[in-house]
Structure 1
């Protein structure tokens, strides 16, 4: 009787995603220095204090595993292999209208701290991740080639059907190479990504 009661209590505590431990999904989005980059104009309504242009389109797979789960809080270990396309100018005051195009690929590893609300219908989270990347081309302040991508994001997940969730995630990203090569002033982006995942 005591064993049965204890088992029910343990499973009753584990209501985050109805006890599903793993998640796999796909995320896409953009990274920019100012909001006008998305609209094709010079609007700096939302902007970083930068003198360069480096716009990204993200294409990321995501896999995570819950390493700690309580009734309404959880910690996940995640991996994000990705291939991203870029548009940039080497020099900030280049008056030509032509942009260079490039790509990045890499892997981010990190932790996601999640707060469950609305009985598994909705959750909020903070995510920290970092990992090695390769960039084919960058603005003048940062050498291309081997880099590290460091990310801080806040997100929201909403269940839309059984174990299928939609994910929206604004954040900040910094890439640089830990002084392996110069120049290494780094590149920063405001990021906005969205996608889907399945919990199982």
Structure 2
């Protein structure tokens, strides 16, 4: 696989902003969790098990690094939870034909419902959307500004004090909402 060491976006400062967002999520994790169970965060690695086959004959393989922090628990009663969350995303993209790499960077916000199953176990469902910038250009997608929409379902298992295992399956759709051709 060929690596592109000279990759740069005009201005180059968006890397600093995304880095600051990820550091915020990392540092906020312990602080928020200690202050209240209503707010918490962490970092998630997203590894695809299904690749998108592009019309030009190659597979799109996105590997995600996701920050995650809750902004508010909107359900104040009972053990179930409804969180409003923010999720900075940094995505490294490879292709089955060895071309690339490409990058995606953005910030999603959404809602996650956690259904209490007992003893710290939760079934989860979430939906989110947000602005992103992509460097990839295909016959169906222009380079630049897009929206990333996410739908997911999962399970949270307790591992110990302040530690959980999150198993999630996510469907992701990206589109520039017809603002630029191709969409």
Q: TM-score, normalised by structure 2?
A: 0.73
Find the counterpart in structure 2 of residue 26 from structure 1.
43
Work out whether residues 135 and 147 of structure 1, in 8 Å CA contact, stay in contact via their aligned partners in 2.
yes
Could you list the per-position Cα deviations for residues 7-49 of structure 1 after superposition, in whole angstroms to 9, with x for gaps in the alignment? xxxxxxxxxxxx7111111000123644xxxxxxxxxxxxx78
The count of corresponding residues between Structure 1 and Structure 2 is: 145
Work out whether residues 88 and 139 of structure 1, in 8 Å CA contact, stay in contact via their aligned partners in 2.
no
Distance 2:98 2:156 in 1: 38
Work out whether residues 87 and 109 of structure 2, in 8 Å CA contact, stay in contact via their aligned partners in 1.
yes
Alignment map for 1:37-76 (pairs within 5 Å):
51=55, 53-64=59-70, 65-76=72-83
Work out whether residues 53 and 59 of structure 2, in 8 Å CA contact, stay in contact via their aligned partners in 1.
no
Distance 2:80 2:50 in 1: 33
- The structural deviation recorded for 1:61 is 0.7
Find the counterpart in structure 2 of residue 98 from structure 1.
98
Higher relative CO (Cα under 8 Å, sequence separation at least 6) belongs to 1
Find the counterpart in structure 1 of residue 118 from structure 2.
118
Q: Which runs of 5+ in 1 are unaligned?
A: 1-18, 35-47, 90-96, 185-200
Work out whether residues 88 and 138 of structure 1, in 8 Å CA contact, stay in contact via their aligned partners in 2.
no
Distance 1:30 1:140 in 2: 25
* 31 and 181 in structure 1: CA distance in 2 versus 1, 3 angstrom threshold: farther
Looking at secondary structure, tell me which structure has more strand per residue: 1
- The structural deviation recorded for 1:142 is 0.6
Q: TM-score, normalised by structure 1?
A: 0.67
Query: Secondary structure of 2:74's partner?
Result: strand
Aligned Cα RMSD in Å? Answer: 1.9
Q: Which runs of 5+ in 2 are unaligned?
A: 1-35
